[in-house]
Chains A and B, each alone.
Chain A
Amino acid sequence: MALRIGVFVCDCGTNIAGFLDVPKVCEYAKTLPDVVYVKENMYTCSNAGIQEIMDAIKKHKLNRVVVAACTPRTHEALFRKACEDAGLNKFLFEFVNIRDQCSWVHQKEREKATEKAKDLVRMGVARARLLEPLKEIKIDVEKKSLVIGGGIAGMTAALSLAEQGFEVYLVEKENRLGGLLNYINQIYPSDANAQQFLEEIVKRVEKEKKIHVLLNSEVESVDGYIGNFNVRIRQKKESKEIKVGTIIVAIGAKPYEPMHMYNYDEYENVITQFELEKILKEKGKIDAESVVFIQCVGGRGERVRYCSRICCMNSIKNARIIKKMMPNANVYIIHKGMQTYGTEYEEYCRKAREEGVRFIRVRDAVPTVTSLEKKDGRIAVGFYHPGLRRKVEIQADLVVLSTPLIQREDAKRISQMLKVPLGQDGFFFEAHVKLRPVDFATDGIYMAGSCRAPASIDECIMQALASASRAAIPMAKGYVEAEPLMPLIDESKCMGCGVCVEVCPYGAMKIVEKNGKKVAENIPAACKGCGACGASCIHKAIKMHHFADEQIMAQIEEAI
């Protein structure tokens, strides 16, 4: 069939049209071989633009569509769908990036930008000519989920999934559920009794027939892909295999231990917030007339770079408890800006002020206080007071260090096992900071709670419910569709060397024996079509669907 290519060039309002000559690019596109239709749109992504693509496919019998616009990152799926809705195989669509990679970076070079856009369109058209129709793959999804971590986030996610009708394996490495919540005295901002709440939720989890609680257990290995994860779980000396469709990571975090900081290991009345929490929970009292809370110990550039989010509220909570027990005690919080955002937290902070907790704001510099000295059984806490513009000392009987939550040791192992990334801060890295905050980039794997970033109990619960919603989508649907961008392996050329297996970041390649010969095989549902296997195959046995050598060579030839 003769090639009939349609080219749509987007103004993106002024994002593109403001910096290069779109009509000229359109005129040029008309001169390219096999191009039978060219259209300029103010916004190709608008409903009207989409409609124009669909109408043109039908009216002009287009069998290839090229859109020159913003970026495939955000808009490829939309244009592909327009093609599909108009009856054109969506893999016959080609995206040319003339905004992010052209108009935006050449804002002061109108003519050159126009020439570059023409080059890019020519390259796109060259590739479009060689595109082949492909078919999406449908994969069944196992309607069971694995939740790693039995803390508040893991339990909440498991309960929500169960209530939505799915079976859940809840894996906890300790001998009891609850995670960090086991050590917490009260929950802010409602001051609910943490242990009472924990007891109730554990009871609910244990009673729920759809949840299989596996204590003293660790996930040993995970193979497979969305809908079909084969998971090996070790429970003491036994090992068992389960199959699940989705995985939620909720392994929590742990408080940083401030060794060799703020005389923590020297003075016994210098303790961490976490230790104070335990004392309050177990003894319900402390012996001190003057208590100083020091914020950001180890956080905000001291040992870790980030702000740990929950420590300000924790200090206020415990300061209020102390003030309530001992109204005459002097309670100070030395901070670098209280993080009491929103409605209830701000109110909580205001109440603390009214009750006599004293807040002292110091500069956002490291360290928060400059000296801790033992004097007559008390500790002199020294710091520069910006308001007074001099060094000040407060005598304390108890110094409480607010240390950040940090990632657990096994985060690295789990990230490698699931092939999901950790960020610079050591916490799990989401697919998109704003629009996919509890998803991993790898399909079928989600996260919740403090393993994503420090989070309060209410935030853990919220994220857990969100991750349960996300995980439920493929399970409720019962299947997923995978893009057919996977490699095609020429078994006559493949030597079974296994290089592709090693380089594949998604665990989507394996070596199998076929007719007495070792050859590579692709797992379509796990494959992201990245092409690492194709590029690394020294025997040229791997052809990438949709990114075939000849398609890419055609683009390069047009470029040079």
Chain B
Amino acid sequence: MKGVLVIGGGVAGIQAALDLADRGIHVYLVEKEPSIGGRMALLDKTMSTNDCSICILAPKMNECFSHPNIEVLEYSEVIGVEGKAGNFKVKVKRKAKYVDATKCTGCGDCMEKCPTEIPNEYNSYLDKRKAIFLPFPQAVPRKATIDERYCLKLTKNRCGLCQKICKAEAIDYNQKDKIIELNVASIIVAIGSSLYEPKDLVEYGYGRYANVHTWMEYERLINAAGPTHGHLKCAPDGRRPKKIAFIQCVGSRDVKRCQWCSSVCCMVSIKSAMLANEHYGDLESYIFYSDLRVFSKRFYEYSKRGERDYKITYIHARPGEIKEDKRTKNLIIYYEDENEGKVKELEVEMVILATPIMPAKDVKQLAEILGIETNEYGFIKVKDYVFHPVETTREGIFVAGCCERPKDITESVVQASAAAAKAAEIAGLVEG
């Protein structure tokens, strides 16, 4: 039987791959990063149970990697697709890691010695990583990768320290990209999303004020494996905050920016406020919202629990401006208080901006390669929103997760299983 190609190794891709593999269908799982896991691997806790995100995902990542029916092709990209449903010929570029994966033990010695430090995208650029790196400690596979853009050996033919230090002799500066060909019956696209950068919303001071962060930065700040080991610290003196504000819909539900509602941000902010209060019992949070979107199972109850047990105050307002106190770096939020009908000020030590989920940066390019369409929002278009929720505009190619529209983990998993059912139908027909 021909297999299925899953593009994207986040939670949606992993779930789709596992559903198919468990029933005996061979799966190729292509992931462009050096590790599978996607955004979920970088979240701290997950709403509404406050489970540790990587703790519940890591077993699935490992299960995926060690599954006899799944071939994980990490650090790889799909570069060409030919054929039709039931018989796709796919070209995949396996990017050179300059590390022999069969020899690397993931011990980390090379990363310690590597002299090149670059901004760490896996910690939202809040700290540095080395040019030879693991994206995060629980990476699957746990094999080092050399970032060819920054490695001194590869760019200037200097250094070579990692090769000297590696006891396993795994470093191979001569490794080349490889193109491989796959033949599959169907394809599932689960490439995830990108996030809006609120730099053009100058009134909120992101990028200018030290204590204004996006929600994804906050996920890393509150995470024990993050740049501050889970301690919230405020500029200029590293003190921990006693008051935090969350501002919703920063860039979303905005006809000039992202028109859509990002679906998850209200719950993410409630969760984030809860976590802050769990870390520091006296910490108070203020969530500025337009419509608090808490529509899924047990979400409304969760929002109420936040108010009751975690010192969260919900304020129905869209702040007009934030100013920074030059000395304390505290932030003063200006908003209209609807109870009194006048502009009020709230001084806090940290502001978190709920920025929306956007289409993945490479979605257009991939859509072109796959011969599928994107919709007016830039997400991958489904054949029919209601009746064909996982079929793309090309037969035999299905979609799951946030590349279709913003959604939470639960809904990504549901859509991934749904896509797996459809992909299996085609794989089954080929067999029959």
Contacts and interface: CB of A to CB of B under 8 A. Distances in A.
Interface of A: 13-15, 18, 42-43, 45-48, 50-51, 70, 74-75, 77-78, 81, 160, 163-165, 187, 189-190, 192, 197, 300-301, 305-307, 309, 337-347, 350, 361, 364, 386-387, 389, 423, 425, 427, 432-438, 452-453, 457-458, 461-463, 465-470, 472-473, 476-477
B203 interface: no
A450 to B, nearest CB: 11
Contacts of A48: 105-107, 142
Nearest to A389: B341
Contact of B413 (A306, A361, A437, A467): A437
A446 B138 CA distance: 31
A293 B176 CA distance: 64
A337 B292 contact: yes
A80 to B, nearest CB: 11
A148 B406 CA distance: 31
B428 interface: yes
A214 to B, nearest CB: 23
Contacts of A437: 410, 413-414
Given A347-B259, A435-B413, A466-B421, A307 B300 contact: yes
Nearest to A463: B414
| Interface-centre pick from A47, A81, A197 (highest chain B CB count, 10 A) | A47
A337 B137 contact: no
Contacts of B413: 434-437, 466
A469 B22 CA distance: 10
Nearest to B378: A343
Interface stretch (B59-67, B117-125, B324-332): B59-67
Contact of B55 (A74, A81, A192, A342): A74
Contacts of A462: 389-390, 411, 414-415, 418
B49 A47 contact: no
B379 interface: yes
B386 A15 contact: no
A465 B411 CA distance: 13
B51 A364 contact: no
B280 interface: no
A47 B24 contact: no
A18 B224 contact: yes
A163 B224 contact: no
Contacts of A476: 23-24, 424
Contacts of A307: 294-295, 299-300
Given A437-B410, A466-B418, A473-B22, A339 B291 contact: yes
Interface size class of B (residues with CB under 8 A): 35 or more
Given A160-B422, A339-B295, 11 more contacts: A14-B224, A163-B425, A164-B421, A164-B424, A337-B292, A343-B406, A344-B385, A432-B56, A453-B297, A469-B19, A472-B23
A197 B58 contact: no
A477 B19 CA distance: 11
Contact of A389 (B261, B263, B300, B339): B339
A215 B368 CA distance: 47
9 cross-chain pairs, A with B, having the tightest CB-CB distances, nearest first: A465-B418, A466-B417, A469-B421, A476-B23, A337-B291, A307-B300, A453-B297, A339-B295, A47-B142
A46 B142 contact: yes
A458 B386 contact: yes
Contacts, number: 216
B410 A461 contact: no
A129 to B, nearest CB: 27
A88 to B, nearest CB: 16
Contacts of A43: 137-138
B339 A473 contact: no
A62 B160 CA distance: 39
A435 B295 contact: no
B417 A469 contact: yes
28 contacts: A13-B137, A13-B225, A43-B138, A46-B138, A78-B59, A160-B421, A163-B425, A164-B421, A187-B386, A339-B294, A340-B261, A342-B261, A343-B405, A344-B405, A435-B413, A453-B296, A458-B386, A461-B386, A461-B387, A461-B389, A462-B390, A463-B418, A466-B414, A467-B417, A469-B417, A470-B417, A472-B23, A476-B24
A15 B52 CA distance: 11
Contacts of A18: 224, 229
B59 A45 contact: yes
Interface in B99-151: 105-107, 137-143
B334 interface: no
Given A458-B385, A461-B386, A462-B418, A477 B46 contact: no
Nearest to A452: B297
| Interface-centre pick from B137, B387, B418 (highest chain A CB count, 10 A) | B418
Nearest to A75: B59
Contacts of B385: 189-190, 344, 458
Interface string B402-432: 0001111111011111111110110010001
Nearest to B22: A473
Contacts of A189: 385-386
A221 to B, nearest CB: 29
Interface string B257-277: 001110100000000000000
Contact of B418 (A164, A469, A477): A469
A18 B304 CA distance: 33
Contacts of A347: 259-260
A102 to B, nearest CB: 15
Interface in B212-233: 224-225, 229
B56 A435 contact: yes
A342 B142 contact: no
Nearest to A188: B386
B172 interface: no
A203 B56 CA distance: 42
A506 to B, nearest CB: 22
A126 B414 CA distance: 42
Nearest to B379: A343
Contacts of B62: 45, 47, 50, 78
A230 to B, nearest CB: 24
A190 B386 contact: yes
A405 to B, nearest CB: 12
Given A160-B421, A190-B385, A341-B295, A433 B338 contact: no
A15 B409 CA distance: 24
Nearest to B134: A46
A50 B304 CA distance: 42
A112 to B, nearest CB: 21
A423 B296 CA distance: 14
B395 interface: no
B291 A338 contact: yes
